[in-house]
Structure formats: structure tokens, C-alpha cells
Amino acid sequence: MKAEIICVGTELLLGQIVDTNAAYLAQVLAQQGIDLYYKSTVGDNRQRLVALLQQAWKRADLIFVSGGLGPTLDDLTREALALLVHEELEEDPGARRAVEEYFRRRNRTMSQNNLRQATRPKSAICLPNPYGTAPGLWLEKDGRVVVALPGVPLEMKNLVEREVLPRLRRKSGADSSVLCSRVLKVVGMGESAVEEQIMDLMTGQENPTIAPLAKRGEVRLRLTAKARSEKEARELIKPVEEKIRARLKGYVFGADRKLLEEAVGKRLAAGGFTLGVAESCTGGLISHRITGVPGSSTYFQMGIVAYSNRCKQKLLGVDKELLRKYGAVSPQTARAMAEGMREHCGVDVALSTTGIAGPGGGTPKKPVGLVYLALAHAGGTIVRRENFSWDRENNKTAAAQAGLVLLWEFLGGISPGENSENH
């Protein structure tokens, strides 16, 4: 089956609401092994909605429509479906009883316009919605299926799980299959370098397929296989994953929902290391991420946000003359912060950050987005320079990610890289 998703609502086009329904429906289709080729968004306009439905009718076997099933005049999905299949709308007795009962149970007066929700194209059936007044619609005609669902996520998801999926499974029968994905997460290598290492695997594979996905501070490799069952799909993925891990040894920190701070914490705990973090430009983001991991108290000792020069001197022992000579944003200050944290806190490993998050404060020599990271350990201190080019929030987020990457690399014995110094 070839599927298409249409999400209805002017509020989606205006960006007033984030469309999570399309993402959920796409995941459901993948789990059922149904190929999704198109996703579209259209406003509350009958003419444009009908045109989009007609286009989908020509190229898809299964069409999901989310939204536009409410009681008001701008809820146009029912009318558009009737025009699509050249049928009149008619009232569904069961749907009418359900709408009336919904208001009766809540002891509320029902406006007559709510009965619009009990109408459907003649060949459609209503899907009962226990969480709202708008039933879903299932319409089969000329070898195609159209599923119309309420836009409210709770109602939509309940209808998919209780009503839609059983019907899809019965319809697909013995020909059903599943799509299964596994996402490997890589740090310390750029997307182009990762791709170069596995190019032959990417070009030579059809099932599973490999797709790189760039995320700030990470590269993600999505391995997707299609098979008769999830177990069979995972068996197809396994040998390919093993080849990738072998080629990117030391750079793959986890898969699927694994977070970098979890992987760093695991290495700290395994090595019996304690950690302290001295943050300036990141404002506590690194400490927040590390302490978000259950069990982090076994290795995390202290986090200090030393934002001002006075606090850098008082709390971390950074020399006043060093700050005057080199400035707060400098490799010298980053090193002194990390070494001061390690000495005063008595930890095995200390990480520091100092930089210019923006939007102001930059100069030609020290532009906005310049960040210095330092990692002090028993064998010396690593200093790394990073240059980011986003807004304040994203510069802070990127700097925190870079700090965790530096920790991950050091704990795994990976060379600090060309932007680093080891003293």
C-alpha cells in the first residue's frame, strides 16, 4: 500500500500549533510496513482541501486526513470527502446518539451545530470516539481507503489504536509486513567523515537501508529494514550494525533513545572516576544534563556556574592577572577554571566552559559563538576551541554538547582532535 497524510487546519499553516499528528501517523504506518510517500498541510478552505484530496486519490491507496471534523463552519473535512467521492452527506443514527449522550453525561446543553459531526458520506462508516464528540470516518471506494480523524491528538491516537489499526491489519492480511528502524548515534566525527567510512555499505544496501541524519553535535545513522515481523527485520539490521560499529569504533556512543550524558556517565562509573564541572557560558546546562541521569551521584561531585570574573577567582582560584591579561574567554582561563575545579573539588576529572553566547559581547578577535572548553585530569589538561554561529540559546546548547563530546572522547581514549591542545 502507498499512503499519504493530509493535515487540515489554518492554525498549522500559521505555526500556532506544532503538527505532532503527522509524525505519529508516519510512525504508525512505518510499523505496519506501509510506504508513506507524501505529507501535506492545508488550511480550512474547502476548495483547496478537495483539490489536495483529489491529488492524493490519484497516487495513494491509503489516505489519512487529520483535523476538520469538529462542529463549526470551518470544519470542512466531511464535506470535502463527500465531494471527493461524489456522494451526499447523511446522518448516522449511531453517531447522533453518541454525540447526544456525550453532552447528556456531562449535564451540558448541546448546540445544534454539534449534529454536523454525526454526518458522513454515504459509503463511509463512523468510528466511535469515546474522548470527544467528533467520530472518525472510514471510507472505502474504488480500491482506496480514506481515514478521517479528529485533530485533537488524544482522540486521534485512541481512534488509530482501537479502530483503524485492526481494520488495516484485516485488510492487509497475509501480505502484511513491518518497517523496523534502529538509530546509531555518533560523536567526534562529522557527517561527511562518517559517510566516507561507510559509503560502500550505504550504496550497496537495499534492505536494510542506511540514512545519515545530522543533529547538532551528533551524527545519526538510521538503519531501516522491511520484513514479515519485527524479529526478522532486526535480524536483517544486526549484521549491518555490527559492520558500522566496527568501522566507527569508539565513535558510536549508543542507539535509539540513548543519550550522550548516559554514555558518559557509564564510562565515568566503569572507570571509577569522579567529575566536577565549572561552567560560564553554558550556565549549568552540562551539570543539568549529567544529573538528569539516574545514579549520577556515584560520579558527579559538583557543578559551579562561575559567570563573573570575581566568582572565577573566588570559587575556582583563577588568577586575577591571568583574567586581566587574556580575558575571561580564552584558552588560559578555560584551563585555569578546569584545573581550579579539579584541585579545589578533589575530583579525578574536571570540565570547564567559557565563551560568548551572544547576541552581544563579540569582537573581531573574539566573535559571538567562540567557546573554549578544558578538561583537567591526572595526566594534564586538554583545551579545545569551538566556533558556533547560532543564537544565544543554540550556542549554549552546542557548547554543552561539545563539552560532553570532549568527556566521551577522553574517557574512551580517543585523541582530542585538531582543535585541542594537551598540556
Longest dimension (CA), the chain: 84
337-368: pLDDT as tens digits: 999 999 999 999 999 999 999 999 999 999 99
User: What local confidence, expressed as pLDDT, does residue 48 receive?
Assistant: 97
Alpha carbon 393 to its chain's center: 18
The pLDDT of residue 173:
63
Q: Are 381 and 339 in contact (CB under 8 A)?
A: yes
Pairing of strands 124-127, 136-141: antiparallel
pLDDT value at residue 414: 59
DSSP annotation string for 135-174: -EEEEEETTEEEEEE-SSHHHHHHHIIIIIHHHHHHHHGG
Distance between CA atoms of 128 and 140, rounded to whole angstroms? 17
- Starting from the edge strand earliest in sequence, which strands make up the sheet with 275-279, in order? 300-305, 275-279, 349-355, 370-377, 380-387, 420-422
Strand 144-149 relative to strand 218-227, pairing: unpaired
Q: Nearest Cα to 275, choosing from 381, 339, 350, 352?
A: 350
pLDDT attached to residue 216 = 81
Q: Which three cell numbers mark 187? A: 560523536
Query: What residues of the chain score a pLDDT lower than 50?
Result: 174, 417-418, 422-423
Dihedral sign for Cα atoms in the order 203, 208, 212, 217: negative
Give, in order, the Cα–Cα distances in Å from 267 to each of 271, 278, 297, 402, 411. Answer: 6, 20, 14, 17, 6
- The pLDDT value recorded for residue 323 is 98
How far apart CA 335 and CA 107 sit, in angstroms, is 68
* Whole-angstrom distance, CA of residue 270 vs CA of residue 265: 8
All domains in the chain, ordered by first residue: 2-175 (3.40.980.10), 178-255 (3.30.70.2860), 260-422 (3.90.950.20)
Query: Among residues 126, 131, 134, which one has the least CA distance to residue 163?
Result: 126
Q: Give rounded-to-5 percent helix, strand, coil for the chain.
A: 45, 25, 30
* CB-CB neighbours of 137 under 10 Å: 24
List the one residue out of 379, 365, 217 whose CA is nearest residue 285. Answer: 217
- At 296, the amino acid letter reads S
The SS3 assignment for 102 reads helix
In terms of phi and psi (left: phi > 0; alpha: psi -120 to 50; beta: otherwise), the region of 9 is left
Helices (H), 292-359: 309-316, 320-326, 331-345
Give the dihedral sign, CA 405/409/411/415: negative
* Residue 18 to residue 44: CA distance in whole angstroms: 16
Residues 6+ apart with CB under 8 A from 400: 282, 285, 286, 289, 353
What's the DSSP call for residue 89? E
The pLDDT score that the predictor gives to residue 422 is 47
